[in-house]
Structure 1
Amino acid sequence: MDLMDVNGEASASNLSSAMSTELSSNALSGTVRAPALHSHTVIVHTEYDISAPPPLPGPEWTRFVCISDTHSRQFAVPEGDVLLHSGDLTNSGTYNGFRSTIEWLADLPHPHKIIIAGNHDLPLDQNDDWYEKNWERWHWPEKEDVSMIKELLQGELATSANILYLEDQKYEFRVKEGGRLWSVYGSPWSPDFYNWAFNYERGLQAEKIVSSIPKTDILLTHGPPFGILDETITHEQVGCETLAMRLATTLRPRLHVFGHIHEAHGALIQEWDADGQGRAHGERTVFVNAANWPMGPRARPAPGESRIQFGERPFQPVIVDLLD
């Protein structure tokens, strides 16, 4: 596999180690760090002038704008065809937090806005009555009204603003009339993290959830795969091994957007090797950790400069232009 890397803390050697340990694919080679990544089918921008973003290469391209871990904050977002949000819409899943986020997203100009939940969006996890069993940890003395929150995500305000909430669901859409039919799958899950929302145990439970992900052009997950833009401040790789395996051997989407590990914000373009199962060398996946909450060494301002805010360099929304 050939790898190009921009901005994220994860390195080619990290990903190579993960893949060579877990997968029967060849080692990675070559790492390039730059403000943008290019191939003949994809262009990625992680840092740019927000007042004058790079132009779309041409009419045969589609612009995806990737954000995540916004935690009810608001900031400047470049225009594009599709806005993708990979979860942690709020800080703790309150109604007011969701309302603030949905109203902000509704005001953005993107014709398509596709969102998922994350581990902080607590009331949305209704699996095995998780929120019913755990709400007092965060929302004592009053439980949040899940039906009112769902109305925010799926009601008139959201639908009139072309906001689509996915929870273990696939959706197909066209950006241009008569153009390419894009498919996207959204999953809010991530490996166990102190029993927050949408957590799963590594191993059998991870296999059950990850195996349900279908082939798709665009994959949204809240948590990263193991070894891919998943390194924490303490230099631990905390992504999902099962997801990394399935991405390399079966899924191979054109674009995989996630967040959760704020300090690993960045992007990779990965070219897959042939795997002997009919998938040829040359398939590419763009991996984007779109977390906009500044954290880690890159979040420290230079002497004399002000604190880096949500969505500011080097934690801007990531622009991904894909050739149709």
Structure 2
Amino acid sequence: MTLLHISDTHGLHDQLTDLPAADVIVHSGDFTLDGSEKEAIEFMQWFCDLPYNHKVFVAGNHDMCMYGADKVEGLPDDVHYFCNSGIDIDGIKFYGMPMFMEYAMDGTYEQHIKDIPDDTDVLVTHQPPYGILDGGEYKGQASYHYGDYFLYTRVINVKPKLHLFGHDHNAYGSIEQFGTAFSNAAVVDEHYKLKEIKYLTYKI
């Protein structure tokens, strides 16, 4: 199975060209810029029409209109929205959790991380794990970390084959540690402009 990973398109999804072939495309959140329902619908229409056998996505912190929607009605059978949920695709266990500020404020974010199943093969989150493809400048801090330490500890215990995320626009790329391939696929820069990138694909 080949996976294509993209993230943080922020409304520019229709400007992505020459997407490579894959069995599954995964978008790890921030498909909107302002979090409006209109933006989300436009993204989902584009995403549903892509020529992949399966299409998987989670919401990011910009995608506020998705908060409270555990499921998205009317999606085709080959399109899967994960909100602290997952599916088995050809024997590969996918699981995804969104990143909503409400989770951090009401104290449920850590519980959702705890609920990541032990047998997850492909984990999709919006936020990175602390210290892995999550470092960038923020308000003058040159070594600011966008990742979550509790997520880091959960991932190194679960040891998924792949952990796919975005959120930090300055850390595009992939790295392998602890037996897991980590992937940050944020396709825009800190000014929300598309970067020149080589798309990230993985075989699993």
> Which TM-score band applies after superposition, normalised by the shorter structure?
0.7 to 0.9
Equivalent residue in structure 2 for 1:187, among 97, 103, 126? 97
How far has the Cα of 1:321 moved from its partner? 1.8
Which residue matches 1:37?
Answer: none
How far has the Cα of 1:168 moved from its partner? 0.3
One-letter amino acid matched to 1:247: V
Equivalent residue in structure 1 for 2:76, among 159, 165, 169? 159
Partner-residue secondary structure (3-state), 2:8: coil
Which residue matches 1:15?
Answer: none
One-letter amino acid matched to 1:255: L
Judge conservation of contact 1:92–1:120 (CA < 8 Å) in 2. Answer: yes
Judge conservation of contact 1:154–1:164 (CA < 8 Å) in 2. Answer: no
Distance 2:102 2:167 in 1: 12
- Off by >3 Å, runs of 4+ in structure 1: 196-199, 204-207
Does residue 136 of structure 2 align to residue 232 of structure 1? Answer: yes
Which residue matches 1:222?
Answer: 126
Evaluate the alpha carbon distance shift between residue 261 and residue 199 of structure 1 in structure 2; reply closer, same or farther with a 3 A threshold. Answer: farther
Q: Deviations over 1:181-219 (max 9, x none)?
A: 010111002xxxxxx645426xx7543221111120000
How far has the Cα of 1:63 moved from its partner? 0.8
Q: Deviations over 1:47-103 (max 9, x none)?
A: xxxxxxxxxxxxxxx210001111121212212000011011211222221122112
Unaligned runs of 5+ in 2: none
Equivalence map 1:32-71=2 (5 Å): 62-71=1-10
Equivalent residue in structure 1 for 2:40, among 94, 98, 110? 98
Which residue matches 2:189?
Answer: 294
One-letter amino acid matched to 1:232: G
Which residue matches 1:246?
Answer: 154
Distance 2:65 2:201 in 1: 30
* Seq. identity, %: 32
Distance 2:134 2:23 in 1: 27
Distance 1:295 1:227 in 2: 19
Partner-residue secondary structure (3-state), 1:242: helix
Unaligned runs of 5+ in 1: 1-61, 127-145, 175-180, 190-195, 273-283, 300-308
One-letter amino acid matched to 1:93: G
Distance 2:53 2:124 in 1: 18
Equivalent residue in structure 2 for 1:122, among 64, 69, 75? 64
Partner-residue secondary structure (3-state), 1:90: coil
Q: Deviations over 1:165-190 (max 9, x none)?
A: 1100021121xxxxxx010111002x
Which has the greater radius of gyration?
1
Judge conservation of contact 2:11–2:43 (CA < 8 Å) in 1. Answer: yes
Does residue 200 of structure 2 align to residue 313 of structure 1? Answer: no
Distance 1:260 1:81 in 2: 24
Distance 1:82 1:112 in 2: 5
Partner-residue secondary structure (3-state), 2:135: coil
Answer 1 or 2: which has greater strand percent. 2
Distance 1:66 1:255 in 2: 11
Aligned length: 195
Evaluate the alpha carbon distance shift between residue 288 and residue 171 of structure 1 in structure 2; reply closer, same or farther with a 3 A threshold. Answer: same
Distance 2:102 2:161 in 1: 25
Q: Deviations over 1:130-183 (max 9, x none)?
A: xxxxxxxxxxxxxxxx7xxx6xx431xx316x2111100021121xxxxxx010
Does residue 6 of structure 2 align to residue 89 of structure 1? Answer: no
Partner-residue secondary structure (3-state), 2:180: strand
Distance 2:21 2:62 in 1: 26
Partner-residue secondary structure (3-state), 1:264: coil
Does residue 179 of structure 2 align to residue 262 of structure 1? Answer: no
Distance 1:115 1:167 in 2: 9
TM-score between both structures, scaled by the size of structure 2: 0.86
